[in-house]
Amino acid sequence: KQDEMVAGSCEVLAERTGRPQDDLELRVVVGAVMGGLHQVLWGDQSQEGDLLEMVDRALTVLERGLTL
């Protein structure tokens, strides 16, 4: 299932960017976003909060260049 999500996301992003679906940078971006979403949904369950806020926090980490 996750492989299908990654492949589908790569396909959509490839169409939008004009890059091939197997482009390394494209796949790294998709993998990073999927990793962030994975942690929000299935990571440490002790972290409670609004789902949309947590997704926003995960995407903010990616936007700022993965700095802590």
pLDDT at 47: 67
CB 40 within 8 A of CB 58: yes
**Intervals of the chain under pLDDT 70:** 44, 46-47
pLDDT at 43: 74
* pTM of the model as a whole: 0.79
Task: State the sign of the Cα–Cα–Cα–Cα dihedral 30, 62, 65, 67.
Answer: negative
pLDDT at 35: 92
